[in-house]
Chain A
Amino acid sequence: MPLEYWIFLWKVVLIGGVALFTVLAVVVTIGGALDIRRLFKTLREEHARATAEDVAQKEQ
């Protein structure tokens, strides 16, 4: 492949890659924050359930 094609290919890969990544970064930043909120909610519920079970076992 001629050298000019390689140079053109790497320019396209660099510009295209950075552009795609910028879009992905914005989407993941917002979506990830919502996911973390949901994960913490689930873990808090499990923690509360486990604590309640421990208390119940001690009472028995």
Chain B
Amino acid sequence: MSTPLIETNFRMIDWAIVIAYPLISLGIGLYVRKLVVNIQDFIVAGRGLGVCLGIATMTGTELGLITVMYSSQKGFTGGFAAFHIALIAGIVTFVVGATGFIVFRLREMGVMTIPEFYERRFDRKTRILGGIMMAFGGILNMGLFLSVSAKFIVGITGTANVAMALPAISAALTILVLIYTCLGGMVSVVVSDYVQFVVLSFALVLASVLAVAELGWTNIFETVQAEMGRGGFDPTVSESGFGWEYVIWMGFLGLVSCGIWPTSVARALAMDSPQAVKRQYMFTSVSFMIRFLIPYFWGICAFVFVAQHENLRDLYFPAGCPAPAKLPDGVVAADNLYAMPQFLGQILPVGLIGLVTAGMIAAFMSTHDSYLLCWSSVLTQDVIAPIRQSRGTPLSSRARVVLTRVLIVVIGIGVFVWGWLYEGRNDVWDYMAVTGAIYFSGAFALLLCGLYWRRASSTGAFLALLTGGTAILGLTPLQDALGRWLTGLAGVAANVGLMTPLQNAVHIEIRSERVGLVSIAATILVMVLGSLLFPDRKKNAGQVPDANEGDT
């Protein structure tokens, strides 16, 4: 590993802060465990969250270390043009809060999970398929959390030259978060989210001020302009790497991440009233913008820092800056995910680095535990429990808590393994958008039509969920596999005179935003056509039952 990657201000006092924080969290988890009585406490914290705690937990969940890492990567490669994602996310979240779009009605119904809504509005098979799609997309989505988060810790602590540092840190993080999540469910999750919110909020602001003090406000903008040109500021031009299609895709992702993404919606469903949900969203819109904005800014500052240090410039941009789309043969650039933590490691003073790292570990824990809890409770509540109920052997509340805990461990181990196996070319953010789309493109159609269109039918819903699965084609390894398959097919086709069209199709590179937008349009179309062609024959079709009916 190159020497510049191990330079850091991280000292023993910082290690002490970093080790103390998880131990305190573990203590809270042990205390909270005694208070969890039933599945409602475990999954939605007894629906007892006030507005401030709701804002803290929603921010804590959605501002994870993974968010900071993929956002700083976007800032590093896209400059200030990446800010459009943050601005759109803030505006869309505010609009969802002001209008109550989707979340208000869901909370009003008193459901615990989105698939539970599917059953009340459509039927049980839609709930089970919805639960499977949600858990599949969601678990894939968190597949890179561990490996990317471990890179932050390795980068900021300067342990890149320590053998097995990455897997060892990943394993330690996994064990910590599994114990913590299994202990107290949603109650311990919201408490850890709150602690994270407090630590990280102040760390984010303070580190940003220090970054500006180090590099100079004017210098940051001038360097980006000199190195990236117009593309460093204007997201609508192609040289920014974004473009209009990407901006529209980000608008949709902004809506999804606050109004449809289950970990966000789980916070809305845990609020003490539907009115509180609206207030929660309007206030959280600031956090939803900041969770992207400050990491983008850190990524931009890291870019400026790298651009002005010759040894780092050679490391990250060996073929010139900005990096060409494809590096020449034999030229290898350092992983740009290390740039931001390395930058922080060199500008933050002793003590503050420890605090920022502890805050980031808190961010990792609060996101990872929320996601683990979310996908395991979806599998318990929306897949296994309905199947058991259909067979006449319903699960007790206590059995559900035990099953959810077992699934937390299984998913946690699965994510650990996947993080080291996956080799894709997508940016981390684009990987997450694509894997998330497996679930949310179908879910968007079902929630939109289910809540606001009386003629939406269960057949249309089922078909739309299946169609949403096509979003997986946005992953580069799958596109490569498809390309290889077509190469083989081209060989066969050459013998029968069909070579040219197949040869053209062999090199597949579809931009993730295009796959996402097409799959969303397709799911809505399938939902509408399916509902019109196969309407529900039930007497109460289109009616949304209240919270007391049909709860499993």
Please give the residue numbers on chain A whose beta carbons come within 8 Å of chain B beta carbons, in ascending order: 1, 3, 6-7, 10-11, 13-14, 17-18, 20-22, 24-25, 27-36, 38-40, 42-44, 46-47, 50
- Residues from chain B with a CB closer than 8 A to the CB of A28 are 52, 55-56, 59, 197, 201, 283
Q: Which segment, of B8-16, B41-49, B414-422, faces chain A?
A: B41-49
Check A47–B289 contact: CB distance below 8 A.
Answer: no
Check B293–A14 contact: CB distance below 8 A.
Answer: yes
* Cα distance, A33 to B52, chains bound together (Å): 8
B80 interface hit (Cβ, 8 Å): yes
User: Closest Cβ of chain B: how far from A28's Cβ, in Å?
Assistant: 5
* Cα distance, A59 to B221, chains bound together (Å): 74
Check B197–A29 contact: CB distance below 8 A.
Answer: yes
**Which single residue of chain A is at the shortest CB-CB distance from B201?**
A25
**Which single residue of chain B is at the shortest CB-CB distance from A51?**
B37
5 A-B pairs closest in CB distance: A31-B52, A35-B53, A35-B50, A25-B201, A6-B233
Check A43–B289 contact: CB distance below 8 A.
Answer: no
Name the contact of A47 in the complex, choosing from B34, B87, B208 (C-beta under 8 A): B34
Check B290–A21 contact: CB distance below 8 A.
Answer: yes
**Which single residue of chain A is at the shortest CB-CB distance from B81?**
A6
Name the contact of B286 in the complex, choosing from A24, A44, A47, A50 (C-beta under 8 A): A24
Name the contact of A46 in the complex, choosing from B41, B49, B50 (C-beta under 8 A): B41
Q: Is the interface of A mostly helix, strand, loop or mixed?
A: helix
B187-232 contacts to A (CB < 8 Å):
187, 190-191, 194, 197-198, 201-202, 204-205, 208, 221, 225, 230
User: Closest Cβ of chain A: how far from B346's Cβ, in Å?
Assistant: 22
Name the contact of A36 in the complex, choosing from B36, B194, B234, B287 (C-beta under 8 A): B194
Most B C-beta atoms less than 10 A away, residue of A6, A20, A50: A6
Check A32–B197 contact: CB distance below 8 A.
Answer: yes
Q: How many inter-chain contacts with C-beta < 8 Å in the A-B complex? A: 120
Check A43–B52 contact: CB distance below 8 A.
Answer: no
17 A-B contact pairs sorted by A residue (CB < 8 Å): A3-B225, A6-B233, A14-B83, A14-B297, A17-B86, A18-B294, A24-B287, A25-B197, A25-B201, A28-B197, A29-B198, A31-B51, A32-B197, A39-B50, A42-B46, A46-B41, A50-B37
Q: Is the interface of B mostly helix, strand, loop or mixed?
A: helix
User: Closest Cβ of chain B: how far from A23's Cβ, in Å?
Assistant: 9
**Which single residue of chain A is at the shortest CB-CB distance from B53?**
A35
**Which single residue of chain B is at the shortest CB-CB distance from A26?**
B201
10 A-B pairs besides A14-B293, A36-B53 with CB distance below 8 A are A7-B233, A22-B205, A24-B286, A28-B201, A32-B194, A35-B53, A39-B190, A40-B35, A43-B46, A43-B48
User: Closest Cβ of chain A: how far from B165's Cβ, in Å?
Assistant: 32
B48-73 contacts to A (CB < 8 Å):
48-56, 59
Check A31–B290 contact: CB distance below 8 A.
Answer: no
Name the contact of B86 in the complex, choosing from A7, A13, A43 (C-beta under 8 A): A13
B90 interface hit (Cβ, 8 Å): yes
- Residues from chain A with a CB closer than 8 A to the CB of B290 are 17-18, 21
User: Closest Cβ of chain A: how far from B402's Cβ, in Å?
Assistant: 17
